[in-house]
């Protein structure tokens, strides 16, 4: 009779199921490491564009987007989160689109410029925002409705805008912990 010899298994012989599990694990790890890097690059590009248009960006000692040890090898100038942005007076709605890449923004100063209700849709996504200065802009009551999602907002300056008392009252009901300033624009 013939006997069938079973081949010996070697250490480097894997089943398809093991290979699939290993590939899935590598994909999850790559996403876990890659997403903060992508966010940091977007933030860096937004900061460069804001500063090129004459605006100013500030950062605080918050949670870094990317660990500090990884910033140098990845070519990132910083691994910190931008917390404050101040636009210059000649900017408008186009510059507000840059805010989509700064989700952790805490303070925004955009006074005395061409911001309209259409540009406020970019501000509405900044759910961490605590202070917002829109004094001297073209914002109206319909634009205020977009700000109701900003539940962490503590201070809002609407001096010199086109908002009415009814619009402010509606926003105050939606944001009861927010101090809203309305009045004539500041002269600077």
Task: List the one residue out of 78, 142, 64, 139 whose CA is nearest residue 108.
Answer: 139
Distance CA 160, CA 186 (A): 8
- Check residue 154 and give its pLDDT: 92
Give pLDDT tens digits for 116-158: 888 888 888 888 888 888 888 888 888 888 888 888 989 999 8
- Check residue 7 and give its pLDDT: 65
- Check residue 34 and give its pLDDT: 73
Q: Are 137 and 156 in contact (CB under 8 A)?
A: no
The parts of the chain modelled with pLDDT lower than 50 are: 61, 187-188
- Check residue 188 and give its pLDDT: 43
CATH of 16-181, one of 3.80.10.10, 3.40.109.10, 2.60.40.1080, 3.40.50.970: 3.80.10.10
Distance CA 100, CA 96 (A): 8
Q: How many CB atoms lie within 10 A of CB 60?
A: 12
57 beta partners:
85
Give pLDDT tens digits for 50-61: 888 778 877 764
Distance CA 54, CA 121 (A): 22
């Amino acid at each position: 009779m013939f006997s069938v010899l079973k081949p010996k298994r070697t250490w480097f012989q894997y089943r398809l199921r093991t290979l699939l599990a290993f590939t899935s694990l590598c994909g999850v790890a790559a996403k876990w490491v890659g997403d903060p890097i992508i966010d940091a690059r977007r933030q860096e590009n937004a900061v460069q564009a804001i500063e090129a248009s004459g605006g100013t960006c500030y950062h605080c000692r918050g949670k870094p987007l990317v660990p500090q040890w990884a910033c140098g090898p990845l070519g990132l100038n910083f691994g910190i989160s931008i917390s404050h942005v101040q636009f210059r007076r000649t900017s408008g709605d186009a510059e507000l689109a840059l805010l989509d890449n700064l989700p952790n923004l805490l303070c925004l100063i955009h006074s005395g410029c061409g911001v309209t209700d259409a540009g406020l849709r970019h501000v509405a996504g900044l759910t961490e925002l605590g202070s917002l200065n829109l004094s001297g802009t073209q914002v109206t009551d319909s634009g205020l409705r977009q700000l109701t999602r900003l539940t962490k907002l503590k201070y809002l300056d609407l001096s010199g805008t086109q908002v009415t008392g009814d619009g402010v009252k509606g926003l105050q009901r939606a944001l009861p912990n927010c101090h809203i300033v309305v009045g004539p624009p500041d002269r600077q």
